[in-house]
């Protein structure tokens, strides 16, 4: 990785020519303008280097985020198998309460509630 471009920067102090009197001529102002222009070119060079460094760091951060995202464990509850889902649906269609259907099928009441919600959604769509 590149070093910090600010490490090699020197502080520049300008002596602004007076507006009147000795040292206020065109040559003094031209020299002042050239010194400022040279310094600004140096600053633009530093800005360019820093922009390149920032772009490299942003690319590295994006790569690290992708790597972290790919390492996340696949979570969530396991899918209820189709046979158990069919038994739950049959029990609910027969008028059994959700809690009784849960005990009968060996699943949680929340699982039966989810299956019931899916059945209701399918019924509403038809």
The domain segmentation of the chain, as residue ranges, is 5-71, 82-125
pLDDT score, position 76: 73
Q: Alpha-carbon dihedral of residues 13, 10, 51, 65, nearest 10 degrees?
A: -130
Q: What is the pLDDT of residue 21?
A: 86
In the prediction, which pLDDT does 5 show? 62
CB atoms under 10 Å from CB of 98, counted, come to 17
pLDDT at residue number 16: 86
pLDDT at 1: 57
Q: Is the pTM of this model over 0.75?
A: no
Q: In this predicted structure, what is the pLDDT of residue 125?
A: 57
**What one-character-per-residue DSSP string does 33-72 give?**
HHHHHHHHHHHHHHHHHHHHHHHHHHHHHHHHHHHHHHHS
- Extract the tokens encoding 65: 């985020």
Handedness of CA 121, 122, 125, 126 (dihedral sign): negative
pLDDT tens by residue, the chain, 126 residues: 567 767 777 777 888 888 888 888 888 989 989 988 988 888 888 889 899 999 999 999 999 998 888 887 777 777 899 999 999 999 999 999 999 999 999 999 999 999 999 999 987 655
Which region holds residue 6: left if phi is over 0, alpha if psi is between -120 and 50, else beta?
alpha
Query: What separation in angstroms does the CA of 21 have from each of 14, 30, 102?
Result: 18, 16, 99
Residue 124, pLDDT score: 67
Cα separation, 112 vs 91, in Å, equals: 10
Q: Are 32 and 16 in contact (CB under 8 A)?
A: yes
């Amino acid at each position: 990785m590149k070093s910090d471009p600010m490490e090699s920067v020197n502080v520049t102090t300008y002596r602004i020519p007076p507006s009147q009197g000795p040292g206020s001529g065109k040559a003094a102002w031209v020299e002042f303008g050239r010194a400022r222009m040279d310094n600004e070119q140096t600053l633009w060079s530093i800005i360019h280097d820093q922009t390149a460094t920032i772009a490299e760091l942003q690319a590295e951060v994006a790569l690290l985020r992708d790597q972290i995202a790919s390492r996340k464990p696949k979570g969530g509850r396991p899918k209820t198998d189709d046979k158990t889902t069919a038994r739950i649906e049959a029990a609910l269609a027969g008028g059994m309460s959700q809690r009784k259907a849960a005990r009968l099928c060996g699943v949680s009441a929340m699982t039966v509630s989810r299956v019931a919600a899916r059945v209701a959604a399918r019924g509403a769509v038809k």
